[in-house]
A and B are shown apart, each in its own frame.
Chain A
C-alpha cells in the first residue's frame, strides 16, 4: 500500500470524517483549492459562496447528473481559518450508506478532487502549523491507527474476487514492464525476440479494455461487507462457537465438545448497542494432520489479520492453577494468536468451572501485568458474566466506529476508482510513445503499475528485474 502525499498538495482531498454506525448525520469533508468549486457545483451556489463558518441549508446535487442526492447543511471554511489551513468545506448529510456513497461519488467526479489517503487531513493540518506540540507527538500513533485501519480494509477487499482481479492486472502489468525494460536494457546485446514489444502491445490493449469495462460498470464488483469486523479466535474447543451462538442468541454455528468442530469461517451480522458488527467464528488454532482443518486454521489466521477487533477465547479449565504461571501462559498465548498491536479482548470462558478463590487470584495477577487487553470472565454455559462482557464489547466497538476508515468500504472503493483511472490514462501514454520514444512509453507502463500498486502493493525495481531474468536469458 502506498502512502503518498506531498506530491499532491495542489490536489483537493475528500473523505467521510464522521463515524460509522447508526448515526443521524454524516460529515463529509473536503480540503484544498478545489473545495470552493466542489461546494458551488454541488449546491448550485452560482454566485456567492456561503458566509464563512456559517451553516447553510442546501440541496446537494450530483454535478453531472443534476440529481438531488440529499438536503443538508454545508459549511465554507476559507483558508487559513480551517482545520487544515486550506480552503475547506463540510457537508453534513443524512447518515444512510446510500446517501454517503452518492455524495462521495459526486465529489470524486469534480475535477481536481481525489479521495484522501490515511492521515492526509492531519498531515495538511500539521503542515499548516495547525497542530499543537502534543498533537504532533501523537501524530505517529494516529497515522499508525489510520493506516492500520486502511490496511485491514484493503485486505478485506483484496481477499475477494475483486482482489483477484486487481492482482491479476498487477501481474500482467509487471510482465509488460519487465518485457519493455528487458527490451531497453538488454536487446542490443542479447537475443531478445523482436516480438517482445508486439506481445506487450497486445497485453496493454487488453488491459486497457478490461479496466475501461470495469470502470464503466459501476454495479459490478462484490457487495461490500460493512460493519466493525470482530473475529473470535483461540485454541480448539475453547468455546468460540458457543460465544458466537450466545452473542447472536441463535445457533449460527454447530457446537460440540469435540475439538475442531468449526472448520470454516462462520459469519453473522450483529447489532451491538446500535453499531453494525460483523462477527466471525473461526477454526480453533492448532496443528492438525487433517488437510481440511489445516485450511480452516489458515483462514482463521487470515481473518484475524483483517479484523478490527479480535476476541481471544481461552478455556479457564486449561489454565495453570498457579496465578502467576497462568498470566505468563496468557501473555504467550496472545502473542501466538495476534499480530503485534492488534486490538483485542481476552475472554476467559467456562468460568463456572473455576473455583472462586482461584478466579480472584488470577484476576489480581492479571491486573498487575501491563500490556494485556481488557479481560472478561464469562460462561457461555450459565451466561455468567455475559452482561459485563457485552458492556466491554460495546465500548470497544463504539471506539472503533468513531474511526471512519474502519468501516467505510465506500471510501476504499472511491480510492480504488481514482487509482484505476490514473492507471488507464498512463497506459494511453505507452501507446502514444510506443513508436516514438520507448523510454517515455516505458514511463507510461511504470506509472500505470504505480497507480495500481497503490491498491495492490508496491512493486520495486528488483521485482521487475526478477521477471526479466526469469523470462529471458541475459548474457552480457
Chain B
C-alpha cells in the first residue's frame, strides 16, 4: 500500500496542476519517490487503452500506477484526429456509460460534431467528432492527475516479473511486478495491464528504410517485454500492420478546390453527463472532401519497388487500407480523401484515406496529383508500422491472460485497431485488474448487452486474422444495443455490480431510468379509439381503422408522430417529460423488436452463466467427444458453455456431453460440501440446445 506521503505528493500535483510543468522538479520528485512502493495495479502504456485502464482501476478502488514512455504523449491521438463514427460511436457511448474518459474528453476537445447515419435509424446512428489534438491530450492528462489513487510515472518497462501461480486459481504463472529500463528497483503489483499498442516488436517503414519503433518520434520499447511474453509465458503472437498518412501544411492547400463538409448545427455531446459540448456550435470547423485522380494511381504503381511495407506479408486491415492497397485492389476508381482539421490553432490538415509508406519525395509527388493539393507541402511524412499482437483467444472475457494470473492485455496488443476499440478494452481490463488485485471476482460483459461485450467475445472466442474493428453488423442485437440507451444498459450495472461508476453518474442514470419508465407507463395508459386519436392529432395520417383502442405507445410508433405532438395534445400528463422526447420516440419504435429478441438474449445469457473449468484437459476428458471437437476446445479453451457453442465446428452432441460433464463435476463438488444438488438450478441450464453450426 502506498504511504501517506505518496498520496500527499499526488495531492500536491493535483492542487497545482494548472501551473504544473511536466518537466518540473516536483514531478521528478514524485517519480523518485514512488519507485519504492507497491501497487495494486500497474498499467503499462498511456494510449487510449492505458489511460482508460488506469482510470478505471483507480475508480474501482485499486492503488494504481500508470507507466508511460513519455508523460507528454499520454492521451495523444497518434493517428486520426477524430473519435466515434458508426459502430465506434456506440463504443464511446458505452465507455462513457461506465464512467470512462474518452466520451467526456471528446466533448471537451471536439471541434466538429456530427451524427453519422442520421437517416438510417437511431440504432445505427454514429456520433462522431473531429478533435483538437492538444485539447484532447490536456483533458486526459488533467483527468488522470485528478483521479485519486492514481500515480503517473515516466519510464520504459524492461521486464515483467512472473512467479509460481497461486495453486487455488487456474493458471501456470502469476505476475508480480515490473522493472524499468533505467535499472531502478522493481515495482511490485498484484495485477499488470499491458497496453503497449504498436510497440511490441514494432518496426517503422518509410520507403525502403525500416527502423525499430511503434510511433515516429518515440523510442522503441524494450525487447525484454516481448521476450517474456513469448518465451517465458509461451504466448502465441502474430504480426499485423497499419499506417498513417502524411500531415499536410494547411496554408499550402487550395481548399476552394475541395467540397466543404459542415458539422451538425447543433453538436450532440458523447457523454451522458454533458448537455452541450465545450466548443460552441458556431465555432466548429468544417472538413473538406476531395478525390484521388488517375495520377495518384500512377505514382503508387511507379513507386512500388521503393515500398518495403507494401511488399511485406504481415496482415493489414481490409478497411482503413493504405492508398497503395486501395488503388491496387480497386484500380481505375476514384477514392475519397477527407481533409480534416487537427485543432483550433493547428496549421496542419489530416488527409484521411491517404495512409502511405513510400519515400517522402514520392509522397509529395502523390499528394500533388490531387487538385486541391497541387502545391501542398508535407508537414510530417506518412509511414507504416508492423507490430506483434498476442492472439487474443489466450485471454479470458475479463481480458486476463488465461495462463498468467494477474496479467491483463488491452488495445492493439490484442489485434484490434482504433481508439474506441482500445478504450473499451482498456476500461474493461482496468476494471478486472483492479477487482483481481482487490480479491473480488472478475466480471464479464455479455454480447447481448453491449458492443464492448461483442468486441471482447469476438476477440477471445474467435481470435483475429486482421486488425479488428467494430462494425454495427457484428452486433446481432444491435436494435437493442443503441447509442441512446447505453446508460440504462451499463451505468446501473457499472455502479451496482462492477464498481467503476461514480455515485453522481449513478444517481443521474437512476433519475433518467425512473423518468423514462414513468413516461412510458403514462403513454401505455393513454388508450384511445382511432377516431379520438384523429381528433387529438389532426396532422397524423392513420390509414387503417382499428376497433381496438390504441395506446400512446402505439401512436408514437407512427412515422409522422413525434413525442412533442403528443405532449402538446396531452400537456398535463406528458409535457414534463419533454427532456426525453427523442429517447421516448426511439424507445417506442424499437420496443416491439427488442421484445422479440429478449428470449434469445435470455437464452444466451443463461449459457454464459455456465462457466467451464479452466483447467479441463479436453484431450483426455472422459466423455465422448470427437477428436476435432477436442482439438478446437483445447485450442480456444472457452470460458463458458455459451462461448463453446459459438465455436466453429462444435456439434449439439458435444455441447450436451460438455454440459453433462460440468454438471456431474459440479454435483460431486456440491456433495463434498454435503449439500444436496439443487435440481432447479440445474434445469436453469437446460437450454443447452443451441444454434450450433454443423
Check B626 against A190 for contact (C-beta < 8 Å): no
Q: Is the CB of B320 within 8 A of A476?
A: yes
CB distance from B664 to the nearest CB of A (A): 9
Q: Is the CB of A6 within 8 A of B694?
A: no
Query: Does B690 touch A at the CB level, under 8 Å?
Result: yes
Q: Which of B71-119 contact A (CB under 8 A)?
A: 85-87, 116-117, 119
The stretch that binds B, out of A93-101, A261-269, A389-397, A461-469, is A461-469
The segment out of A13-21, A74-82, A136-144, A360-368 that lies at the interface is A136-144
CB distance from A290 to the nearest CB of B (A): 32
A340 within 8 A of B: yes
Is B479 part of the contact surface with A, judged by Cβ < 8 Å?
yes
Complex Cα–Cα for A165 and B46 (A): 55
Other-chain residue from B120, B321, B660, B690 in contact with A437 (beta carbon distance below 8 A): B120
- Residues of B within 8 Å of A45, CB to CB, are none
Q: Are B329 and A464 in contact, CB atoms less than 8 angstroms apart?
A: no
Q: How far is the CA of A1 from the CA of B657 in the complex (A)?
A: 19
- Tell me the bound Cα distance from A446 to B478 in angstroms: 12
Contact yes or no, B626 A340, CB < 8 A: yes
Assess the B124–A184 pair: CB atoms within 8 A. Answer: yes
A183 surroundings in chain B (CB, below 8 A) = 120
Q: Which residue of A lies closest to B86 (CB)?
A: A185
Q: Is the CB of B660 within 8 A of A3?
A: no
Complex contact A439–B603 (CB within 8 A): no
Contacting B473 at CB < 8 Å: which of A120, A143, A464? A464
Q: Is B326 an interface residue (CB 8 A)?
A: yes
A403 to chain B, nearest CB (A): 15
- Is B547 on the interface with A (CB-CB < 8 A)? no
Chain A contacts of B352 at CB under 8 A? Answer: 476
CB contacts under 8 Å to B, within A414-461, are 433, 436-443, 446, 457-458, 460-461
With A140-B624, A473-B335 as known contacts, state yes or no: A188 contacts B600, CB within 8 Å: no
B353 within 8 A of A: yes
Q: How far is the CA of A118 from the CA of B119 in the complex (A)?
A: 43
Residue of A nearest to B600 (CB): A7
Q: Which residues 313-359 of B have a CB within 8 angstroms of A? A: 318-321, 326, 329-330, 333-336, 338, 352-353
Q: Determine if B589 is an interface residue (Cβ-Cβ < 8 Å).
A: yes
- Return chain A residues, CB-CB under 8 Å to B679: 129
User: Chain B residues with Cβ under 8 A from A140's Cβ?
Assistant: 623-624, 653-654, 656-657, 660
Q: Is A474 an interface residue (CB 8 A)?
A: yes
Chain A residues with Cβ below 8 Å from B326 are 473, 475
B155 interface residue per 8 A CB criterion: no
> Bound state CA distance, A32 and B326, in angstroms?
56
A340 touches B627 (CB 8 A): yes
List CB contacts (< 8 Å) of B161-201 with chain A: none
Q: How far is the CB of B442 from chain A (nearest CB, A)?
A: 26
Q: Which residues of B contact A147 (CB under 8 A)?
A: 651-653, 694
- Interface stretch of the complex, out of B293-301, B608-616, B681-689: B681-689
A48 to B442, CA, bound (A): 57
- A: interface residue count bin: 35 or more
Interface residue? B262 (CB, 8 A): no
CB pair B126 A151 closer than 8 Å: no
Beta-carbon contact of B652 and A141 below 8 Å: no
Q: Give the chain A neighbours of B338 by CB distance below 8 A.
A: 189, 476
Contact B479 A184 (CB under 8 A): no
The verdict on B546 contacting chain A, using a C-beta distance below 8 Å, is no
Task: Verify if B121 is at the interface (C-beta below 8 Å from A).
Answer: yes
Taking CB atoms, residues of chain B closer than 8 Å to A127 are: 683, 686
- A181: which B residues are within 8 A, CB to CB? 471-473
CA A458 to CA B660, docked complex, whole Å: 26
**Distance in angstroms between the alpha carbons of A457 and B603 in the assembled complex:** 21
Q: Does B474 interact with chain A (Cβ within 8 Å)?
A: yes
Which residue of B has the minimal Cβ distance to A155? B694
Which one of A136, A184, A340 has the greatest number of beta carbons of chain B within 10 Å?
Answer: A184
Is B599 in the interface zone, CB < 8 Å from A? yes
Contacts of A185 in B (CB 8 A): 86-87, 124, 471-473
Residue of B nearest to A433 (CB): B121
| A315 and B590 alpha carbons, distance in the complex (Å) | 67
Contact between B319 and A475 (Cβ–Cβ < 8 Å)? yes
Answer yes or no: B123 CB below 8 A from chain A CBs. Answer: yes
Pair A440/B121 contact, Cβ less than 8 Å = yes
With beta carbons under 8 angstroms apart, the residue of A1, A6, A141, A461 that contacts B690 is A6
| Nearest chain B residue, comparing its CB with the CB of A6 | B687
| Contact assessment for A3 and B333 in the assembled complex, using a CB-CB cutoff below 8 Å | no
Q: Do the beta carbons of B694 and A465 come within 8 Å of each other?
A: no
Q: Which residue of B lies closest to A468 (CB)?
A: B473
Taken together as a complex, chains A and B put the C-alpha atoms of A119 and B688 apart, in Å, by: 12
Whether a CB of chain B sits under 8 angstroms from the CB of A83 is no
Q: Considering the complex, which residues of chain B in the window 661-694 have a beta carbon less than 8 Å from any beta carbon of chain A? A: 679, 683, 686-687, 689-694
Which residues from B are CB-within-8-Å of A329?
A: none
Q: Are B329 and A184 in contact (CB under 8 A)?
A: no
Most B CB atoms within 10 A — which of A188, A190, A458? Answer: A188
8 A Cβ contacts from B459-487 to A: 462, 471-474, 476, 478-479
Contact B473 A129 (CB under 8 A): no
- Asked if B694 and A1 make an inter-chain contact with CB atoms under 8 angstroms apart, the answer reads yes
Residues of A within 8 A of B656 (CB): 139-140, 143
**B residues less than 8 Å from A191 (CB atoms):** 333-336
B23 at the A interface (CB under 8 A):
no
Contact B319 A474 (CB under 8 A): yes
Q: How far is the CB of A411 from chain B (nearest CB, A)?
A: 17
Residue B379 interfacial (CB < 8 Å): no
Shortest Cβ distance from B330 into A: residue: A473
Knowing A6-B687, A127-B686, A440-B479, the reply to whether A473 touches B329 (Cβ < 8 A) is yes
Whole-angstrom CA separation of A309 from B471 in the bound complex? 46
A144 neighbours in B (Cβ, 8 Å): 651-653
B117 with A7: CB separation less than 8 A: no
B683 contacts A129, C-beta separation under 8 Å: yes
Q: Which of B520-571 contact A (CB under 8 A)?
A: 559
Q: How far is the CA of A129 from the CA of B326 in the complex (A)?
A: 59
Q: Is the CB of B694 within 8 A of A119?
A: no
Which residue of chain A lies nearest to B320 when distances are taken between CB atoms in the complex?
Answer: A476
Q: How far is the CA of A235 from the CA of B432 in the complex (A)?
A: 59
The answer to whether B593 has its CB under 8 Å from any CB of chain A is: yes
Are B472 and A3 touching (Cβ within 8 A)?
Answer: no
CB-based contact A476/B334 at 8 Å? no
| A1 and chain B: residue at smallest CB distance | B694
B691 touches A2 (CB 8 A): yes
Cβ-neighbour of A475 out of B336, B603, B693 (below 8 A): B336
- Hey, which chain A residues are within 8 Å of B353, CB to CB? 475-476
Collect the chain B residues with CB atoms within 8 Å of residue A184's CB: 86, 117, 120, 124, 472-473
| A64: Cβ under 8 A from any B Cβ | no
- 13 A-B pairs, CB-CB below 8 angstroms? A6-B689, A119-B689, A126-B686, A137-B660, A140-B653, A181-B473, A183-B120, A185-B124, A188-B86, A191-B336, A439-B472, A465-B473, A476-B319
Give 4 nearest A-B pairs by CB, closest first.
A144-B653, A6-B687, A437-B121, A439-B121
> Which residues of A line the B interface, CB within 8 A?
1-7, 117-120, 123, 126-127, 129, 136-137, 139-141, 143-144, 147, 151, 181, 183-186, 188-191, 340-341, 433, 436-443, 446, 457-458, 460-462, 464-465, 469, 473-476
Known: A140-B656, A461-B476, A473-B329. 5 other contacts (CB 8 A): A123-B689, A129-B679, A143-B653, A474-B318, A476-B352
